[in-house]
Amino acid sequence: MSGSNDHIGGEARRYGAATIADAVARLREGGLVAVPTETVYGLAADSTDAAAVAKIYRAKGRPDFNPLIVHVLDLDAARTLGQFNELAICFAKALWPGPLTLVVPKTADCPVAAAVTAGLDTIALRVPAHPVMRELLAASGLYLAAPSANRSGAISPTTADHVARSLGSVVPLILDGGACKRGIESTIVAIDGSDYRILRPGPVTPAQLESIAGKPASTVTNGKIEAPGQMLSHYAPSKPVRLDAQTTRSDEYHIGFGPVAGDTNLSVNADLAEAASLLFAALHHAEASTKPRIAVAPIPEGGIGLALNDRLRRAASAK
């Protein structure tokens, strides 16, 4: 668990009452704060402040067509920003707080800045479970736009150190809550009347959603990119990545899984949730190693394996 205060640029601090007060003051002044969530570290700003939201896009080098998730304390707060039908309420009640993002129509008087939704008439909302993020939401009373705290397209951060290395020079405060437990971005579900679509696989599995909704996700798409997680190259290290690697070559750093040992192993017991929590840290480690290439052992597709393979395929796609 990282916790030192000696990062260059950004000032990472362990979480505590004083740091939360400092973070709240910075957010109220339109500043950025990096904050742990149960999925990955987020780069937070007041979603109702257009200038603050512009800072997120600038800091990440994020294309402006790529909308942000807004984090709120509870379903009541979510309902001031988005319209929840019966199905959306069902998912929210079953899975919030937690790693599920719901895309719903905006309310008529939704106060978030237009850039947050990239001009769409829908909004992506999540009630996070992490105690530091929850305390920041409660203490600030703000609705926080917070994409992953890394440069756009690069490997997501699951520790304060990862944030410091990627964005340390532009983020003045990183709240350090240790390593993220889930380690992979939220499942994004779009509500379409009484149907739903999975826009991005994540820790909440299709089977969980199906058992709550009483039906599987619809697979109809309208052909356009609706979430940047759908862009082919994303989450990408600076080195070539080879997937389904049972064995390794001499110039490769090998990320193992289960019986395929590797230089590091995502889960010796082939536990997919454990593997998800360690995936981005392993990619950061592989990127920093002296080996010019990265190889990754096969990961089964079931459950969270779907999300792991989704991230890996994008990591392996040339930019």
Q: Does 122 sit near ligand AMP (CB under 6 A)?
A: yes
Residues that bind Mg ion (CB under 5 A): 148
CB of 237: closest distance to ligand AMP in angstroms? 17
Closer residue to ligand AMP in complex, CB, 35/297: 35
CB of 133: closest distance to ligand AMP in angstroms? 13
- Binding segment toward ligand AMP, per CB under 6 A, in 114-122, 171-179, 202-210, 279-287: 114-122
How many residues in the shown chain lie near ligand AMP by CB under 6 A?
20
Task: Among 75, 213, 217, 227, indicate the residue that binds ligand AMP (CB under 6 A).
Answer: 227
Q: Does 217 sit near ligand AMP (CB under 6 A)?
A: no
- Binding segment toward ligand AMP, per CB under 6 A, in 4-12, 50-58, 60-68, 281-289: 60-68
Task: Among 44, 78, 102, 103, indicate the residue that binds ligand AMP (CB under 6 A).
Answer: 103
User: Which of ligand AMP, Mg ion, none lies near 252, with the C-beta cut-off 5 to 8 A by kind?
Assistant: none
> Which residue bears the tokens 């089964």?
300
- Binding segment toward ligand AMP, per CB under 6 A, in 120-128, 162-170, 201-209, 243-251: 120-128
- Rounded distance, CA 305 to CA 307, Å? 5
Please calculate the CA angle 99-217-181 and round it to the nearest 5 degrees.
15
Closer residue to ligand AMP in complex, CB, 90/231: 231
What region does 258 belong to: left with phi over 0, alpha with psi -120 to 50, or beta? left
User: Which of ligand AMP, Mg ion, none lies near 180, with the C-beta cut-off 5 to 8 A by kind?
Assistant: none
User: Which of ligand AMP, Mg ion, none lies near 200, with the C-beta cut-off 5 to 8 A by kind?
Assistant: ligand AMP
| CA distances for 89 relative to 73, 95, 189, 201, 217, angstroms | 15, 10, 13, 20, 16
- Rounded distance, CA 234 to CA 229, Å? 7
Task: Among 147, 157, 177, 202, indicate the residue that binds ligand AMP (CB under 6 A).
Answer: 147
In DSSP notation, 100-121 reads EEEEEEBPTT--S-GGGGTT-S
Residue 244 main-chain phi, psi, to 5 deg: 55, 35
Q: By CB neighbour count within 10 A (0-12 exposed, 13-18 middle, 19+ buried), where does 223 fall?
A: exposed
Of 119, 185, 115, nearest to 148 by C-alpha is 185
- Chain positions 195 to 214 lying near ligand AMP, rule: CB under 6 A, are 199-200
Assess contact for 147 and 69: CB atoms under 8 A: yes
Look at strands 252-256 and 293-296 and give their pairing: parallel
Q: Which residues pair with 14 in a beta bridge?
A: 176
Determine the residue type at 57.
Answer: Y
Which residues contribute to the site for ligand AMP (CB under 6 A)?
A: 66-69, 103, 117, 120, 122-124, 147-148, 185, 188, 199-200, 226-229
